[in-house]
């Protein structure tokens, strides 16, 4: 049973493999009459594109988003929106050498166990390339939530163990790692240089903040807003942990410290991260995601092949040193999709003597 | 749009409020011919029941699970299984006094914003009582996964800031907090005594381990096993963070440290927590959940009422000091439900010349 | 994989067996603040109740609908509404004699093949008693659609081969068979008397008309309004055919005869039955359902037992002579549920610069 | 909320418009290791293609199915299969003249009411061209059901009022209308010639037979096999009625006539059409679909434009005289998709001490 759809009303279904024809997404459930053009995708795709940051690889995809369906004369029609990104810069030959070897930290082993055979070219469906379709879908989601004033911003708060001490949102774009603390950003830049020479990789922590989200979004008891966000974030490869508000830190506090008092102007603190009982409370929604170091490293690793023979694996070529910052627009996109979906769901909750049309 | 169903094949739908007639669950998608009787629920319900631990409240529910449908002569029929737990020990009178006041840290405010009115008696649908239905459903899920050798075990690894230094699984039941480190457990017991006198509450961290899970469970790219687990865990009230394997700690490691090498006998370490690319790899699945301190405290708190007037709130009565350990069987149940659902989904992936019946 | 849920936003999940504890339904997705009380169900349940018509059996259920959850102080809360109807007048003993025999025309054989064992008491889950839960859910659906002026009316247009020649909607309730042609109704009454004495049964055709449905309901290309109606109607036991508008008669017409011309005051005819391209066009929606004769008859029938041995079966006791008229409120309820679901879905289609809340 | 997905385990999502870039389908949930190549689609697409029958139009699409994803080295991978058919022979200019006019019998009016604007080129999403994606998906479904011996065959039993008196399955392909009665086929051919000259159109009745379906498919009480088939068939544009087995004829029979007696070699008749209680009984499944005459005719018709002004509309160009026979492979495909989906669902019902892998 497939698992390539996400969302209940604003529902996306992604498809495609790293070295196939291309990747894409069908969005079913987007309202009609929303302005949408191929130009709208350029900025977001460029942010996710390889090569924009010192932490990146050399694959150079233009990642041009083609609108295949669902838009007529510049406006959505209410029918399925299909977005397609053709794979252009493909060289599958490096994968031939290792096609029978399970790369540690990758999905090769589990895909093989599950499906019996696997598209080994560049990770196939398990490649991070799959996330380009999520970013494209996020652009459409943004068209639903930005008119109501919702803004989703992600940034790096830790990378390779180096923490941002200050968070100045307006500084994010000055850092090649989207780190809002320029001092930390400079230290990260040096660390990456060292790690790259070692042929190793690093991870980090990304924080995403949803500003301007109205109160009332989220559907208890299972489709709570934080539950759906947790799934959305954890479904992105490389993510190993999710926190809402204080997250694991709240486990160390007392109730009297952790509860957010309420005043006549709203909540006096935001330890909850903007969500109470699975429903947005009107404050900023604050999410943290733990990003593991990229598993593709040049150092020699112990593994086995499909026949179970031990292998010393040394990957060749140049890889990203970190999934950060390229993963940030992906995480932002997933949050946008959750908020758009729940915003549409939210509109169904209020009864007004018959929802007069 | 409701959000009270969970799972795709083994699908549960829960219902009921804390002070209503009762709470229950309909399970649609459970295979036929599984032995099931009301006696099967007793052990699990007793573990979740209030009053079993020093951290608990005084509400004394028998939590007897009645099988309303779906079982005939001791076996499941393949039709919907309905389990019902009547609310017996109800006294709603304490809630009349505070029915117009939003309790900090509770869902009163957001339910009111979302739905326009709210069943204020004991938290209504937002009450932790709702989780009794999850535990009951987990018992049925366990009937699917235990025959294939899957065992789900939860325990406390931190409470009120006190950490378990050693994890001896066989010691869990010796601790009233299901803490596998008896020294830590004793310290927790003393801390709880202090906190209770302060009229305050504490949180902690629970680890859940899935032992014996076959490789191949999980459906990329959105219904990854860890993504569904993250949603399942985060959907439980009081949870503010989820980690898989090393979780946030992996963000500090290098790829060469974090990757689990593979040997001829399997993975040589388990930093991944048993999941790669969203699919189980055959190792133990290791999940951590951050539990916030219980919001109901006797200390005075600032809040407002429904008209927006400031209120000094001092809750009366005795409350649980911590959601731990009662939340542990709930988290175990949610994981069991995810594993059962994905096990049934997994069976659909393999093609064998037509799946001859 | 279960199949006991229906609807996407207004989603119902039914449960229960004919001779078990009772039957019921969980409705997830009903908006909050809709007035609802147990009294609201009385009229609809009485219409479906056995014994109200000359065509009925002798089972005398009071069919009292208990609200288990989702309603507080007379209004829906937005959380799951659970409705429960206890089975009171149960005598399973007649079924012991035939528990190993497959009754022709019944689901005994297929349930046994599918599930491996079967609750044989009164048909178990396959009993028409299951439809009482649908009728109860229909009452709630009606609370959504009646405020916007939608009215759903079912009536008998043919029974045992006797056709209604005139359709006077206001005469329906004068006929014990809800037949709008009193002459036909009288002939049917006589026929039933004969058939009952023969120990046989009859079927017929029911027409359901949705009056006042706004244009725009239905979601191409699969969740078309007529497609969802067809599923809703065909899911009712005993239904063997569904028509929209002229139905099979349109197959004999030319395009110039079948197309409904449009004038400045709307459509000039309604051959389409109120649906074009799967979307309501504002005219009456007209549906016909073919009802097969009840399979339980007193005449001797050839069949086999579970071991495959031939059996001459002669059912004892008194059975309904026809599923009509009791099936009419069931069909009405299913249509109401479809319309309510699609009305809520419809509200999501229109974009207005951000759906300002 | 979109409605462009169908099926629960074998789930298809279609997209695309008549005069856009192309149309396609994403299939999520197809098992891995099924052989599949682009060549596999040629036969089915050719059958649906315009121009193959005397009843057809002149649009000449090659309808080449490109596999965009989900297949590696000739076998499905278990990831989403995307099939794409580019629109080649497009001339949208004839639609400019009538872009503000609602064509009678078409979806122009309802799409406009629902979505506020509409892709008027060739019917946009409401075009019969959409069904090419269904036929492509049906080819993949067939790969699941044909290895277990299931065969789905559709044929014309009535067209323009002319009925097939004999059904010789092996004669179907001798008739340009897939009519198994060659005498009737010849009469139809003459009728079509007349109707074409009149500038009019005709409809008819198609029967589809599922041969070799195992007993046990179908999920009561809503996802009954006949309920899902009814939805599948009714979701095809032009269908106005669906019958299972005797359908509306069973409404005229007595129970003693309609019940299928069971003998030691199986059912002695098949009035039920192979389905009892919503579950397949092992006999042939027999479905009838009423096809309305094509609404595009050259005769003058009364209608209005978007401003509500009356218009005398005379469509120019040449249109199909009937949706038959091109609709037959579409109906077959939909049934194949239902059977494949339910076959995969069926495999989940049987419990065998833990479904040992």
- The reply to whether A175 touches chain D by the CB within 8 Å rule is no
The interface residues of chain A toward chain D in range 49-88, judged by CB-CB distance below 8 A, are 66, 68-70, 72-73, 75, 77-82, 84
Contact A117 D72 (CB under 8 A): yes
DSSP 8-state symbol, C35: B
Name the C residues in 313-342 with CB < 8 Å from any D CB.
none
The alpha carbon of B87 is separated from its chain's Cα centroid by a whole number of angstroms, namely 20
pLDDT of residue C140: 98
Three-class DSSP labels, B231-294: HHHHCCCCEEEEEECCHHHHHHCEHHHHCCCEECCEECCCCCCCEECCEECCCCEEEEEEECCC
Decide if A282 touches C, using CB distance below 8 A.
no
Put simply, whether C4 touches B (Cβ < 8 Å) is: yes
pLDDT given for residue A54 in this prediction: 75
CA atoms within 13 A on the CB side of C250: 28
- pLDDT per position as a tens digit, B184-209: 999 999 999 999 999 999 999 999 99
pLDDT tens digit string along D68-118? 999 999 999 999 999 999 998 788 888 899 999 999 999 999 999 999 988
pLDDT score, position D163: 98
pLDDT 10s digits, A83-104? 999 998 788 888 899 999 999 9
Q: Which chain D positions have a beta carbon within 8 Å of B349's beta carbon?
A: 31-32, 78
Please give the Cα distance from D261 to D268 (Å, whole number): 5
C55: left (phi over 0), alpha (psi -120 to 50) or beta: alpha
Q: Are A81 and A36 in contact (CB under 8 A)?
A: yes
Q: Is the pLDDT of residue B59 over 70?
A: no
Tokens of C86: 């206890």
Segment D351-357 shows an average pLDDT of: 44
Chain B touched by C28 (CB under 8 Å): yes
Considering only residues 112 to 171 of chain A, which have any Cβ-Cβ distance to chain D shorter than 8 Å?
Answer: 114-119, 124-125
Predicted confidence at residue C93, as pLDDT, reads 87
Contact B77 C21 (CB under 8 A): no
- Contact residues for D190 (Cβ-Cβ < 8 A; gap 6+): none
B331, HSE (Cβ side, Cα atoms, 13 Å): 30
Q: What is the pLDDT of residue B246?
A: 98
Q: Which residues contact B99 (CB under 8 A, 6 or more apart)?
A: B120
Q: Contact, C110 vs D276, CB < 8 A?
A: yes
ipTM: 0.96
Q: In which residue ranges of chain C is pLDDT below 50?
A: 352-357
Interface membership of B282 toward D (CB under 8 Å): no
B203 and B238 Cβ atoms separated by less than 8 Å: yes
Q: Do D348 and B351 touch (CB under 8 A)?
A: no
Rounded Cα–Cα distance for residues D48 and D139 (Å): 12
- Model pLDDT, residue D93: 87
Find chain B residues with C-beta within 8 A of A346's C-beta.
Answer: 114
Q: Contact, D156 vs D205, CB < 8 A?
A: yes
Whether residue B89 is predicted with pLDDT greater than 80 in this model: the reply is: no
Q: Which of C10, C22, C77, C134 to mutate to test the interface with B (most CBs of B within 10 A)?
A: C77
- d(C-alpha B336, C-alpha B144), whole Å: 9
Q: Verify whether the Cβ–Cβ distance D349 to B214 is below 8 Å.
A: no
Between CA D5 and CA C227 the distance in angstroms is: 13
Pair of tokens at residue B140: 């049925």
C278 neighbors C220 (Cβ within 8 angstroms): yes
Ranking A47-51, A182-186, A289-293, A349-353 by mean pLDDT, the lowest is A349-353
Rounded to whole angstroms, what are the CA distances from C114 to B28, B34, B78, D277, D343?
Answer: 15, 14, 9, 11, 11
pLDDT at D51 over 80: no
CB-based contact A115 D33, cutoff 8 Å: yes
Q: How many CB pairs under 8 A join B and D?
A: 62
Contact assignment for D32 to B357 by CB distance below 8 Å? no
pLDDT (average), residues D312-335: 93
Q: Is A32 on the interface with D (CB under 8 A)?
A: yes
For residue B180, name the pLDDT band (cuts at 50, 70, 90).
Answer: very high
Find chain D residues with C-beta within 8 A of C296's C-beta: 255
Sort out which chain B residues have CB atoms less than 8 A from D34's CB and list them.
351
pLDDT higher than threshold 50 for residue A353: no
Name, in order, each residue with C-beta under 8 angstroms of D335's C-beta and a sequence gap of 6 or more. D152, D154, D208, D210, D229, D232, D233, D285, D287
Q: Specify the pLDDT at position A316.
A: 85
The pLDDT score that the predictor gives to residue A65 is 97
Residues near A97 by beta carbon (within 8 Å), at least 6 away in sequence: none
Query: What pLDDT, on the 0 to 100 scale, is given for residue C53?
Result: 74
**All chains having 3 or more CB pairs closer than 8 angstroms to chain C:** A, B, D
Greater pLDDT, A354 or D90: D90
CA distance C17 to C3: 15
D272 touches chain C (CB under 8 A): yes
Cβ neighbours for A106, distance < 8 A, ≥ 6 positions apart? A123, A126, A295, A296, B276, B277
The pTM score is 0.97
The structure tokens listed for A58 are 């050399």
Interface test with C, best of D16, D120, D230, D355 (most C CBs within 10 A): D230
* Chains touching A, CB cut-off 8 Å, 3+ pairs: B, C, D
Q: Is A34 on the interface with C (CB under 8 A)?
A: yes
Q: Does D251 touch chain C (CB under 8 A)?
A: yes
Residue D354 has pLDDT above 50, yes or no: no
Burial class (CB within 10 angstroms; exposed 0-12, middle 13-18, buried 19+) of D214? middle
């Amino acid at each position: 049973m497939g698992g390539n759809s996400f969302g209940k009303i604003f529902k996306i279904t992604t498809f495609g493999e790293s070295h196939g024809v291309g990747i894409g997404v069908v969005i079913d459930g987007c309202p009609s009459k929303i302005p949408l053009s191929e130009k709208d995708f350029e900025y977001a795709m460029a942010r996710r594109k390889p090569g924009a940051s010192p932490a990146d690889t050399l694959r150079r995809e233009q990642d041009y988003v083609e609108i295949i369906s669902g838009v007529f004369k510049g406006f959505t029609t209410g029918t399925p929106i299909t977005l397609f990104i053709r794979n252009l810069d493909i060289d599958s030959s490096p994968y031939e050498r290792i096609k029978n070897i399970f790369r540690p930290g990758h999905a090769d082993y589990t895909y093989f166990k599950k499906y019996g055979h696997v598209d080994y070219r560049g990770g196939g469906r398990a490649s991070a390339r799959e996330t380009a379709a999520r970013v494209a879908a996020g652009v459409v989601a943004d068209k639903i939530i930005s008119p109501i004033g919702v803004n989703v911003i992600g940034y790096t708060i830790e990378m390779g163990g180096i923490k941002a001490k200050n968070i100045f949102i307006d500084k994010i774009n000055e850092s090649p790692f989207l780190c809002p603390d320029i001092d930390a950003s400079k230290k990260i830049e040096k660390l990456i240089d060292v790690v790259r020479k070692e042929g190793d990789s690093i991870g980090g922590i990304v924080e995403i903040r949803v500003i301007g989200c109205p109160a009332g979004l989220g559907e208890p008891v299972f489709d709570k807003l934080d539950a759906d966000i947790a799934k959305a974030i954890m479904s992105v490869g490389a993510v190993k942990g999710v926190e809402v508000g204080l997250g694991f830190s709240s486990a160390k506090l007392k109730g009297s410290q952790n509860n957010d008092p309420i005043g006549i102007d709203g909540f006096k603190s935001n330890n909850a991260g903007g969500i109470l009982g699975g429903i947005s409370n009107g404050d900023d929604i604050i999410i943290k995601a733990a990003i593991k170091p990229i598993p593709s490293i040049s150092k020699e690793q112990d593994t086995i092949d499909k026949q179970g023979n031990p292998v010393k694996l040394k990957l060749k070529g140049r890889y990203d040193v970190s999934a950060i910052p390229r993963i940030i627009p992906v995480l932002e996109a997933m949050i946008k999709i959750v908020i758009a979906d729940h915003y549409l769901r939210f509109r169904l909750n209020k009864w007004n003597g018959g929802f007069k049309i």
